[in-house]
Amino acid sequence: MTGAARGLGEAIAARLAADGGGVVLVDSSPEVTATADRIAAASQSAGPVTGLRADVSDEAACAAAVEQGARLLGGLDLLVCNAGIGGPDTDVVDTDLAEFRRVIDVNLVGTFLTARAGARLMVEQGTGGSIVNLGSIFGQQGVPGGAGYCASKAGVALLTHSLALELAPYGIRVNAIAPGNMATQMHWDELRSRARATGTSLEDQIDLARASIPLRRHGTGDDIAGAVAWLASADSSYVTGQMIGVNGGLILGT
Ligand SMILES: NC(=O)c1ccc[n+]([C@@H]2O[C@H](COP(=O)([O-])OP(=O)(O)OC[C@H]3O[C@@H](n4cnc5c(N)ncnc54)[C@H](O)[C@@H]3O)[C@@H](O)[C@H]2O)c1
């Protein structure tokens, strides 16, 4: 799974290991090794729990990491494409091309490269599988100042749809999870940027964000990990091509 050094990815990896599976954590951050070691020590997983460093937007590095991960695990039955970045938090008229390209490169191209490498291996194995992509509520609706991120995640939504149709004949299910406002560094960074832009405090922005969520709390890594565990299990064996919102009702409006 990718983007696993911290945040939602770390929580997903910890859940999969706690459920007894081997997990390979792939991340561009050097922290990934320490995260894997921490999870391995806490989980007593039957399989290997290992960290690999790779940038998912680098075609060769991404393919090599997926292949090495599958080798370490003795096969690939679940692939979670979670690596992502936020920003640029600017209106389109003020957005720099390089910043727009970077968010598309990591969030959309990175998901394409990871899913392509994993799908090729799963098709070759011939034993089916499950691919889970991380979309976002901001891939389901646009927001001012978020065009690059929203476009990248909307791309992940239809990439998921097309892949599900292409891979269904091989028994490979492809779904996406669309988190809402989750308590991770990425979300706090976004709120910090909003606070700066509006001359308010981070605490004000956290309160505003929480008040907009019908369930009145930020989501956690465990909320996402539970959905991934379900999509990895036989309980979801008739589910493919779906975008599953895990957002405390935020998509409904208030
Ligand atoms: N936090 C939220 O509110 C929220 C909401 C909707 C969707 N998401 C999505 O969930 C996923 C995880 O988000 P998070 O909140 O845990 O973010 P995070 O910033 O806490 O963690 C992201 C991880 O991805 C890694 N990463 C970034 N670029 C990478 C690259 N090019 N190659 C490999 N690894 C890379 C980072 O090093 C980090 O470990 C992302 O795809 C994000 O867009 C998050």
CB 107 within 8 A of CB 57: no
Q: Please list, in sequence order, all residues whose beta carbon lies within 8 angstroms of the beta carbon of residue 146, skipping any fewer than 6 positions away.
A: 89, 138
Its sign, for the CA torsion 35, 36, 37, 43, is positive
Residue 183 annotated in active site: no
pTM as predicted: 0.98
- Residue 254 has what pLDDT? 62
According to CATH, the topology of domain 7-252 is: Rossmann fold (3.40.50)
- 171-214: per-residue pLDDT in tens? 999 999 999 999 999 999 999 999 999 999 999 999 999 999 99
Please report which confidence band the pLDDT of residue 44 belongs to, taking 50, 70 and 90 as the band edges.
Answer: confident
CA atoms of 193 and 111, how far apart (whole Å): 26
Please report which confidence band the pLDDT of residue 17 belongs to, taking 50, 70 and 90 as the band edges.
Answer: very high
- Residue 253 has what pLDDT? 84
Tell me the CA–centroid distance for residue 126 and ligand 1, in Å: 30
Tell me the CA–centroid distance for residue 184 and ligand 1, in Å: 9
Residues with CB under 6 A from ligand 1: 2-3, 5-9, 27-29, 55-57, 82-85, 106, 110, 134, 136, 179, 181-182, 184-187
Nearest to 131 by CA among 167, 106, 155: 167
Residue 149 annotated in active site: yes
Nearest to 56 by CA among 6, 142, 100, 117: 117
Q: Please list, in sequence order, all residues whose beta carbon lies within 8 angstroms of the beta carbon of residue 124, skipping any fewer than 6 positions away.
A: none
